[in-house]
Structure 1
């Protein structure tokens, strides 16, 4: 029984690994918030000053002023500030957003829409990822072992037809929880179509992370504080589930390819055996020494 042969120390260390992983994300969120929020506030204040200066000269708009307007507006979107808004808009580096960013770092998703702007934040990000990525891999590996152990338990306790049904239920449930239902939430909150939400869901959980769609980045929308934090937790468990699905798919593909590769060899071997059986035994020639 493979699921019972797991050493006791691994079972005891699993809760500590989960708590350590969660603590590491919380620690990263607090440090990123501490290092980046002040710089963001300064950038927003600077943008407001530039905006006021531009509006004072708006009556004499010429080509140079128009280029300045485009530059100011582009700077606003880079900083996550609505050009029509003010410095009281929700911060991009509050705890919820910082927690989400820490999750994208350790999971190597890296959307690219937000990054540390201070030297201290950049240096911390390097060392945070240096230790966080292995921790994330260990956590996902342990979580995958737990899911795999439950599948092996089902294989032992139920008959063969029911095993197939159990695996189908597992895949269907995971598909609903991580690929089908989340786009409905994202479509409602972000204003995306269902196709865009589904696209974002898969691109995120597969760690491709293009960054063309990211939750909680529209400066004209007001999100609840826990929205991005809950999204980060969904990403972690979705990564483990999709990684297990990818592993199962890779194993099935390898078995299929091995079957295709070995089939001609087996037929050739069977043909050779038949030929040897049909042919009469030839007399052996002994070479005298």
Structure 2
């Protein structure tokens, strides 16, 4: 904590890193509250309708087949337990053969985690903790190196374009290319724009493939691409899970490659966007500090005026009438160090005060009693 001595009153200001952390925390909390309000208003009515429809179907089915609702719900609970083991109403591909297990560990190390395939044994759950700890760390490192490779790949053509615009010859360009290319890097805005285009191209191409192979609509395929590439992984849409997908090994390999490419590009895009967000937060902090200093500066300037207005008594002002051969000067010095001087001076004139001299003497005595020094000089 630091004390701002330039302000009129001491104030405790956090460090820049702490202020950035607190500001980001507040903005994320507000962003989450706004998102919760929006999605709640959109999805809550559909949830209530789904509950009402489900209860109505259970009641109709129990009456139609003469089955009690409790027995029917017990059967559904058993099915929910079986679903975690990979049992579906429609037969799908094997979950724990070599291709299925490879798909599972791919969702683990990439932090997608669809939730369709989960270990059911105690040993498998314990092993997953250590396996995911090492695998996720290595994958994050791979994503960071991928971003560095992208920046290095983009820096060379952009540097050459800048060199051509400046008009350097090929010989001069070759001499300085080795030094400048290592130092100069593209801006974060250029990297973000290129990564955004790459993510859109990969997502649009993958959505076309998923729409044809999975039977989804194109909008659902785009939705799945974002959920998978951003490693959110809700699990409502999962690719390569149908029974006939076991025979299409080309689609399985293509799916894994698209997942890897999409996650790498999206993760790199998130890193670049986080830098831009941090720049925006720094600008907001500078603006807030500038406003704070302005308020303190104006408050410091107005402080003497506030003290003057809040003083118990003000020095009397004598309005004088100029007469010939008279010069008068009144100076009031307070105990706080402030002084006021009223004077009227005419070289060939005498100033005659319109105030009664007895009243002036009374006021002077009262000011002296309040620790104020009054000097009244009169000369002809």
Whether TM exceeds 0.5 here: the answer is yes
More strand by share: 2
Structure 2 residue matching 1:186: 3-state secondary structure: helix
For 1:80, which of 83, 86, 98 is the aligned residue?
86
The residue that corresponds to 1:213 in the other structure is: 237
- Cα drift, residue 125 of structure 1: 1.7
Q: Where in structure 2 are the equivalents of 1:136-215 lying within 5 Å? A: 136-159=139-162, 170-171=194-195, 173-215=197-239
The residue that corresponds to 1:240 in the other structure is: 264
Structure 2: state its 5+ residue gaps: 1-64, 166-185, 298-380
For 2:98, which of 92, 95, 98 is the aligned residue?
95
- Cα drift, residue 261 of structure 1: 4.4
Q: Structure 2: how far apart are the matches of 1:211 and 1:90? A: 16
Q: Structure 1: how far apart are the matches of 2:141 and 2:88? A: 40
Q: TM-score, normalised by structure 2?
A: 0.46
- Cα drift, residue 103 of structure 1: 0.9
Instruction: Considering Cα pairs closer than 8 Å and 6+ residues apart, tell me whether 1 or 2 has the greater RCO.
Output: 1
Distance 1:94 1:155, change over 3 A: same
- Cα drift, residue 202 of structure 1: 0.8
Q: Structure 1: how far apart are the matches of 2:79 and 2:124? A: 25
Provide runs of 4+ in structure 1 moved above 6 Å.
160-166
Q: TM-score, normalised by structure 1?
A: 0.58
Larger Rg: 2
The farther-off stretch of 106-115 and 156-165 is 156-165
The residue that corresponds to 1:125 in the other structure is: 128
Distance 1:150 1:68, change over 3 A: same
Distance 1:154 1:122, change over 3 A: same
- Cα drift, residue 243 of structure 1: 1.9
Distance 1:120 1:253, change over 3 A: closer
The residue that corresponds to 2:20 in the other structure is: none
Structure 1: state its 5+ residue gaps: 1-59, 273-289
Asked if the contact 1:96–1:226 (Cα under 8 Å) also holds between the matched residues in 2, the reply is: no
Structure 2 residue matching 1:109: 3-state secondary structure: coil
- Cα drift, residue 180 of structure 1: 1.3
- Cα drift, residue 118 of structure 1: 2.0
- Cα drift, residue 147 of structure 1: 0.7
How many residue pairs are counted as aligned between the two chains? 206
Distance 1:217 1:77, change over 3 A: farther
Cα deviations by residue, 1:14-65 (Å, 9 ceiling, x for unpaired): xxxxxxxxxxxxxxxxxxxxxxxxxxxxxxxxxxxxxxxxxxxxxx974377
Q: Structure 1: how far apart are the matches of 2:231 and 2:97? A: 24
Distance 1:166 1:79, change over 3 A: same
Confirm or deny that 1:253 pairs with 2:259: no
Q: Structure 1: how far apart are the matches of 2:261 and 2:213? A: 21
Distance 1:61 1:70, change over 3 A: farther
